[in-house]
Amino acid sequence: MVELRDVSFGYRRGKPLYETLNLRLQAGAIYGLLGPNGAGKSTLLRLIAGLLYPRAGEIEVNHYKPGDRKPAFLEDLFLVPEEFDLPSVRIGQFIASNVPFYPRFDQAQMAGYLREFGLTDNHKLHELSHGQKKKVLIGFGLATNTAILLMDEPTNGLDITSKSQFRRLVAGAVDEHRTVVISTHQARDLEALIDPIIILAERSRSKMTVALNAGAEEITNRLWFGMVPELEADQPILYSERAVGGYAVVAENQSGETSRLDLERLYNAVQAEPGRIKELFSSSSTLAAL
């Protein structure tokens, strides 16, 4: 379990990025973390990992305070960063050097990932492409079997086939004891994988907040995604965009009609109407208050 209570953080004094931010994450789920560029998605992951320290508020990860960086906490959390610099060694040497830090690391699981990626222990990391290096790091993170796995923009640099591999492998590595958080701005890449969905939006004066934290089923219960031939003034539309044959819209689901969630349009609706989204989901126990 991960919980942030009234967390405030900023890189510069007097200019907070987050102010009284609240968020609760449960085990057994793959959370998708979306937000505008500069919204602090990477910052949020680093706060959870204990690499940054909140100016106010509390963060608790499986009964530990991340900022204390206790060994029992560190061995049960793994962060795949967006930017990384791997040493100039063979893959097998990299694995052997880092395995001792993760008691539940599964060597057979890692060997399977390498085979899936077309790599071996003998490949030299410095001779691999950026995408191949990222695959090694993703595979290592999955094989640690830590209770908390954080991934920052993991599909950046991966081709279409590799993104499909990524979705399949992550889905197969999650159980009821593991919490996975994937930060991304490539919503289409992960639409079938992430659930629940966390979306950051601006609250006021560039301060960011958790505008939505809800599962796909709840979202489609409260919102309707579809096409309409024309926009009418009395329609409860939160977001619309011109499309062939009319308008693609996200609207309040007043009729209870079933529709298919569209992640990109959901994201745009949250950015356009964060206050109204908060009202619609305020009765949900998973929604953090604005």
Which of 189-193, 219-223, 230-234, 282-286 shows the lowest mean pLDDT across its residues?
282-286
| Residue extents of the structural domains in the chain | 2-201, 216-280
Instruction: Look up tokens 């509390």; give the residue.
Output: 58
C-alpha neighbours within 13 Å on the C-beta side of residue 108: 0
How many C-beta atoms lie closer than 10 Å to residue 163's C-beta?
17
Q: Given a cut of 90, is residue 75 above it in pLDDT? A: yes
Q: % helix / strand / coil in the chain, to the nearest 5?
A: 35, 30, 40
Residue 290's pLDDT is 36
Cβ burial 232-255 (10 Å sphere, 16+ → b, else e):
eeeeebbbbeeeeeebbbbbbbee
Q: Given a cut of 90, is residue 185 above it in pLDDT? A: no
- pLDDT tens for 202-258 read 876 668 889 999 999 999 999 999 999 999 888 899 999 999 989 999 999 988 899
Domain 2-201 has CATH 3.40.50.12780: no
> ∠101-162-193 over CA atoms, to 5°?
80
